Structure 1
């Protein structure tokens, strides 16, 4: 069982939870106007981990046949026979249970909204079969992290939560477009949908740039709405620099540098925004 758990966590890239978890924590800090209680932080983290684990497990399970035909993904655990679909489903159910229990422990609104989150988690895995907007749906899924954390603290949805959620949406959709460039030819031949299939390499690069500009604009909007200070502004400036570097790495459509652009830069961005938010909130 320990081996299966290890394989499952590797299959869903559990380490990539770093992309959205810092934004969830930033949302909680902003909502509390300081450091939330340890109990709130614990259940926010567990809800986030449960949702993200279930989402990736569902994606791998639903896309198993497609992954088996794609040379880039044929070595994933389910197509390679390293883990069974039944075992994967069990882990998904346990992850969804963690999400629901954590939501219930936070407040009634979190519990009421959790089925909506699950709906988008399932929808994302099917989107590539009928729409090019799968990247946006993925962004909605991760935007739920800071919005959910805000609801966990305040028990309601306010404008700043939606602004921060919108920033996460466009950030995630932008880098997912870049990531999807790897599968452009396969998706096109398999009849799957994505922005790279619809717009090609150059069009996709420009769409990702536009999405990331929107993200920065929304972060500036949050800065103004909440009257945040210099630490948060510094985080925006550093984030803008890292996004610029990310797009510079892929400026000519050469995907050899995709790992550095996708994994390194975006992991750093989320951590920088958490650190700058924490510094700003706690300093005040």
Structure 2
């Protein structure tokens, strides 16, 4: 039992399970808006399972493909995929299990969800490849999480309305923007290993400016989402608070690079939760 608990903890660390807070709120935001309120316990359970299996798959693929790179980065050298706690064969088994689980969950959601399940897995599993040849990898990561609202509304309405696309584009720029800030920690390693990233190509100052532009676009697209979906006062407040939180995130990083973790995890985690709560209130 002790070994099983240790293995579960290692896999949780491998996929950074606690970071699920970034994608889960926006799946359920789309589901709440699509259903104009409560969407039922069945879709709640299936939504959670879909989000977790998709994220576990994407993160495990990333860790499996990046184990050679992680071994050369002082920041990641103690990860389970590098220090031997989880073997490559165990990672492949975990990847396969979550991929199969995601497709099965999609089957029980509806026909459209099942049809797009494999394409979604292909997209979210491709991030690791892009940073080997393109500095646009940050946007690919953004697209991966940006698929969450689309998956959410498909589960409820079996359609992809315009407001969901706007919400998803906002999520894409949000994630890409904070990933740029987070990747500043690896700027020297990326240059040394010849990896493609915006920080290694354009430098720290330009990266922070690009991140600010991305987050400005985030607010614009979320505002368009509220307008297109017919949101009322609480939805507009959600966008306003998000803008203030993103501004605070940039303030933290500009003031002290050592506060990148705080900006990345704390601010963005609370942003998604606050946004979700206000959208729920808006749809009661």
DSSP-derived class of the 1:180 partner: helix
- Structure 2 partner of 1:256: 258
- Structure 1 partner of 2:103: 100
TM-score, normalization by structure 2: 0.97
Matches within 5 A, 1:1-284: 1-252=4-255, 254-282=256-284
Q: Distance in 2 between matches of 1:113 and 1:51?
A: 12
Q: Cα deviation per residue 1:230-257 (whole Å; 9 max; x = unaligned)?
A: 11111111111111110011125x3211
Q: Cα deviation per residue 1:101-121 (whole Å; 9 max; x = unaligned)?
A: 111011111111111111112
- Unaligned stretches of 5+ residues in structure 2: none
Q: Give 4+ residue runs of structure 1 displaced > 6 Å after superposition.
A: none
Q: Distance in 2 between matches of 1:142 and 1:160?
A: 16
Question: 2:149 touches 2:167 (CA, 8 Å); kept in 1?
Answer: yes
Q: Distance in 2 between matches of 1:141 and 1:281?
A: 26
* Offset, 1:2: 3.1
Question: 2:163 touches 2:226 (CA, 8 Å); kept in 1?
Answer: no
TM-score, normalization by structure 1: 0.97
Q: How many residues are treated as equivalent by the alignment?
A: 281
* Offset, 1:122: 2.0
- Unaligned stretches of 5+ residues in structure 1: none
DSSP-derived class of the 1:35 partner: coil
Question: 2:234 touches 2:282 (CA, 8 Å); kept in 1?
Answer: yes
